[in-house]
Structure formats: structure tokens, C-alpha cells
């Protein structure tokens, strides 16, 4: 499941933050973002976020989908799918619809699955019999 994603380049890459780059401040984009360096501040994209295994992000992150192999210290709000590899380190709360976690990944925070919350709100009169 994770191996194919590693070899698959993002389709609409708008920004690449290379391994020698340190970005400080809020960052917002429309397309896919690849992070290999250091980001300090808030990070938001309407596209896909890919975090390399050497990347370090200290920020609240918002994206359509994300693939994380590095370290994020901050809350994540992912509208679709989040994949965490064995080298992923998350220090913050995660809000996501679909989550894939590879053995070895670390999450230090709460995880909220949005789809479940949405289903509960839409169907308040669900019978508990079965």
C-alpha cells in the first residue's frame, strides 16, 4: 500500500521545498506541495501534501490529502486521505476522513475521523438494536 505511493510523483506539483531549505512563516498554495526541508509556520494547500522522511514541519497543516514520512509538530486537518509511513512522527491532533498507518509510525495526539462524525450528525435517529 505504501510502496506504490513512494514511487508515484505528485501530479500537480506547485511547490517543492528542498532538503536544504528552511521556510519560516505561513504558507498557502492551491496545488500539490512536496516538503523535504524545514517549515516553521502554518501550511495550507487545496492539493496533496507530501512530506519526505528528512522533513521537519512545525506548523498546523491543512491539505486535501497527505503522505507523511517525516516529522510534523502541529495539528493536521486533512480533508481526504492521510498516509503515515513507518518513519512518520506526528506530535499533534489529526482530523481526517481516511487514515493509513504503517507499523512504526508514531502519533502523539488525538485522531478524529471526520466521516464518522458526519454520519452521526446526518443520522441522529439510528436504531441501536441488532
> What is the reported pLDDT for 11?
63
How far apart CA 63 and CA 39 sit, in angstroms, is 15
Determine the average pLDDT of the residues in 29-37.
94
How far apart CA 21 and CA 18 sit, in angstroms, is 5
- Whether 129 has a pLDDT exceeding 70, the answer reads no
Number of Cβ within 10 Å of residue 130's Cβ equals 3
| CA nearest neighbour of 47 among 12, 95, 76 | 12
Q: For 91-127, how does the pLDDT look when each residue is reduced to its tens digit (9 = 90+)? A: 999 999 999 999 999 999 999 996 644 333 444 444 4
Q: How far is CA 111 from the centre of its chain?
A: 12
Q: What percent of the chain has pLDDT over 70?
A: 78
> What is the reported pLDDT for 1?
44
How far apart CA 76 and CA 59 sit, in angstroms, is 9
Are 95 and 75 a contacting pair, CB within 8 Å? yes
Q: For 42-99, how does the pLDDT look when each residue is reduced to its tens digit (9 = 90+)? A: 999 999 999 999 999 999 999 999 999 999 999 999 999 999 999 999 999 999 999 9
How far apart CA 122 and CA 63 sit, in angstroms, is 24
> What is the reported pLDDT for 13?
85
> What is the reported pLDDT for 75?
98
C-alpha grid cell, residue 84: 503515515
pTM of the model: 0.80
Amino acid at each position: 500500500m505504501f510502496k506504490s505511493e513512494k514511487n508515484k510523483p505528485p501530479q500537480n506539483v506547485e511547490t517543492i521545498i528542498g532538503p536544504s531549505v528552511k521556510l519560516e512563516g505561513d504558507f498557502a498554495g492551491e496545488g500539490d506541495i512536496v516538503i523535504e526541508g524545514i517549515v516553521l509556520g502554518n501550511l495550507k494547500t487545496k492539493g496533496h501534501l507530501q512530506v519526505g522522511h528528512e522533513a521537519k514541519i512545525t506548523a498546523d497543516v491543512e491539505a486535501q490529502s497527505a503522505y507523511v514520512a517525516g516529522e510534523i509538530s502541529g495539528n493536521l486537518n486533512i480533508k481526504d486521505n492521510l498516509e503515515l509511513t513507518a518513519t512518520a512522527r506526528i506530535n499533534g491532533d489529526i482530523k481526517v476522513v481516511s487514515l493509513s498507518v504503517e507499523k512504526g509510525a508514531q502519533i502523539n495526539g488525538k485522531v478524529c475521523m471526520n466521516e464518522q462524525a458526519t454520519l452521526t450528525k446526518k443520522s441522529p435517529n439510528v436504531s441501536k438494536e441488532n
